[in-house]
Structure 1
Amino acid sequence: MTASTSAPAHPGVPVPARVETSAPTAGTGHAPSHHGELLQGVFLDGDGRPCAGLVTLPMAAPGTRAVFTPRPGTPPDAVAVTPGGRTKAARAARLAIAACAARTGRPAYGGTLRLTGAVPLGLGMGSSTSDVLATVRAVADAYGLRLDPGTTARLAVRAEGASDPLMLDDRPVLFAQREGRVLEVLGRALPPLLVVGCLLAGGAPVDTLALPAPDADAADLRAYARLRDLLRRAVADGDTALLGRVATASARRAQRVLEHPEFATLEALARRTGAVGVQISHSGSVAGVLYDPTAPDAGARADACRRALDAHRVPYTRTFTADGPNSRCQPPSRDVDDSWTPSAPSLC
């Protein structure tokens, strides 16, 4: 509610501006995470310009919940974040406050931001984007707004420098993570996947800002264009096997930078257990062995994979299915030990 003065008693005397009298209310926002990438590289955009892009493997959980509580009279750049150290979320809150205040004409107040959730940090699951997206949505909710995905993506890139496409719907897209724009919608939904998750490099966090900027020569561009074409075909045909080959090829190319010592072992056990391929985070340590969930013995193959991971001391995390909007965790079979190692946090 707002209040304003009545008409002036004397003509020519200006009426004071309308004054905001409603108390700001807390806003909430939620964002999912992902399980690394199916494809990442450098691709030509619609103008023929090389641009870094990626296709993520969606995951319904874990996620991040944000609560933003405006504090009247607080400068808009004064945002206290809990837990501490979430500098990208704090930056996103300040950017969102300015954007939402400009759209609504309401005062730009700072306030408190509380983040909760279980997205592991530094594993390449989009933890910072999940924080940022939940924050932007919480600030917008406090202002009575629901920002469109394009605006949210631009704010996320400004806050992070590079962002995952968690603000978009469940359609698989090739996303320019450093520009916050969609290079291509690949289709309606990914082919169905059964994913056995694990951690490479002992689950050690990766400093994504320390990784070299993506670069590609003419041969690289041709290779990435070929993988893009194959992924487009896999989505159009619902071809899980082809999707697995694309993800594996992309993961192999990433080893030129990541050099995971267990990657060869992961590929070998994938072949032995009848997987369609492997996928990794190109900026972290999370990885997955991919199976066709429609195969009659898919569950047995996944069980064999979990046993093989344990035998090679590769930390197992979680098994889940991913098929477009439906990504859910599954318990292992009863004959499989689902114990957790200290270095393998739950990803669901």
Structure 2
Amino acid sequence: MAGPGSTARFVRRPGTPPEALTVVPAGRTKAARAAVLAVVECAARTGRPAEGGELRLTGDIPVGLGMGSSTSDVIATVRAVAGAYGVRLDAGTVSRLAVRAERACDPLMLDDGRPVLFAQRAGRVLEVLGPALPPLVVVGCTLGGGAPVDTLALPTAEADEGDVRAGERLRRMLRRAVATGDARLLGEVATASAWRGQRVLQHPEFDALTGLARRTGAVGVQIAHSGAVAGVLFDPAAPGLRHRVRGCLRALDAYGIPATRTFTTFPTGTTTEEFAPHGPAHRRVDRPARPDTPRRPARLPALRDDEGGLRRRGGTPPASDRSRAAR
């Protein structure tokens, strides 16, 4: 999804230790850890002193919804520090630093847009599934009234043999869906994945969401395993697409599920203007920030063209970079 992102600007402060950081806004502890790690890494590569400095972060990704807000902060920070040292870090190094900073990370440092199977706690790609996802139209929404989910407080369970077999079955289906461009098969995989996540997340709107997806002819639903952001997935080649999308938006409204943004997995430049425009997200509530990453209240745009790609800035002090959440 093009649009939401984080911007980090880092200015070195000569003569100070790496831990001597000023972080604005205060409380971005994951980004602060990433900055220290990146300073040490870049100093070792360049032979320059490892120095602290000032890190400024801005962003418009809602927190706690499973949209990769913390990883976006961390990656933007690592790239900004690298820019301040005049180096460019490869995706593997950025991934390694991100995992050390936040224990697990999303694959937002991968720039080529290919769908991958990513080990979030190891920070490495296990498999490149193919060149691109099948074409989809995604009607975004949020569950639980858009309230953040504290993933660290969720119960955890070790995967048993049944989970492993089910996961491998979904992996085979996903490979085939990507290889053949099969939107319906991809929707089946996404829905099965959402159902498994529901055992922990227990969203009260789950049955309503899956039910309205069936009634409107969607191929499935997508729900973040680490939050409340969701999407109803449509095959753009299906007849009556505009009618289906409008019906989905009406159904979401009837169930009190806030619609956020309609976007596509199409190549850059494809527009979603033809699909039903709808009102602003969060008609009733702003999303509060979690204590670890305070932010100004954020709103997701209702409907925009799908731009695609990453937008970067910086390279010399003060350096900055923008890391976008890609889903």
TM-score norm. by structure 1 comes to: 0.79
The equivalent residue for 1:258 is 201
The equivalent residue for 2:175 is 232
**Secondary structure of residue in 2 paired with 1:61:** coil
Q: Give deviations 1:113-132, integer Å, cap 9, x for gaps.
A: 11112101111100000000
How far apart are the structure 2 equivalents of 1:143 and 1:213? 40
The answer as to whether partners of 1:164 and 1:177 remain within 8 angstroms in 2 is: yes
The answer as to whether partners of 2:245 and 2:275 remain within 8 angstroms in 1 is: no
The equivalent residue for 1:297 is 240
How far apart are the structure 1 equivalents of 2:114 and 2:50? 34
The equivalent residue for 2:129 is 186
Q: Give deviations 1:295-343, integer Å, cap 9, x for gaps.
A: 34222211111111001101111111124x6497745756x54133133
One-letter code aligned to 1:124: G
From 213, 225, 230, give the equivalent of 1:287: 230
Change (3 A) 1:327 1:232: farther
The equivalent residue for 2:52 is 110
1:175 and 2:129 correspond: no
Change (3 A) 1:262 1:328: farther
Deviation at 1:215, TM superposition (A): 2.1
Structure 2: gaps (5+ residues):
287-297, 302-327
The equivalent residue for 2:279 is 338
1:152 and 2:105 correspond: no
The answer as to whether partners of 2:136 and 2:183 remain within 8 angstroms in 1 is: yes
The equivalent residue for 2:310 is none
Task: Show the 5 A alignment for 1:19-30.
Answer: none
The equivalent residue for 2:300 is 347
Task: Show the 5 A alignment for 1:1-348.
Answer: 59-168=1-110, 169-213=112-156, 215-323=158-266, 326=268, 330-331=272-273, 333=275, 336-340=277-281, 341-343=283-285, 346-348=299-301
Deviation at 1:269, TM superposition (A): 0.5
Change (3 A) 1:327 1:278: farther
Change (3 A) 1:332 1:73: farther
The answer as to whether partners of 2:260 and 2:280 remain within 8 angstroms in 1 is: no
| Structure with bigger gyration radius | 1
The equivalent residue for 2:316 is none
Figure out how many residues of one structure are paired with residues of the other and give that number: 288
**Secondary structure of residue in 2 paired with 1:299:** helix
One-letter code aligned to 1:142: A
One-letter code aligned to 2:126: L
What percent of counterpart residues are identical?
A: 67
Q: Give deviations 1:36-59, integer Å, cap 9, x for gaps.
A: xxxxxxxxxxxxxxxxxxxxxxx2
One-letter code aligned to 1:178: R
Q: Give deviations 1:40-85, integer Å, cap 9, x for gaps.
A: xxxxxxxxxxxxxxxxxxx222111111111112221111111221
The answer as to whether partners of 2:6 and 2:59 remain within 8 angstroms in 1 is: yes
Give the aligned CA root-mean-square deviation in angstroms.
Answer: 1.7
Could you say which structure has the greater relative contact order, defined with CA pairs below 8 angstroms and 6 or more residues apart?
A: 2
How far apart are the structure 2 equivalents of 1:100 and 1:268? 51
**Secondary structure of residue in 1 paired with 2:66:** coil
The answer as to whether partners of 1:280 and 1:288 remain within 8 angstroms in 2 is: yes
The equivalent residue for 1:42 is none
Change (3 A) 1:332 1:241: same
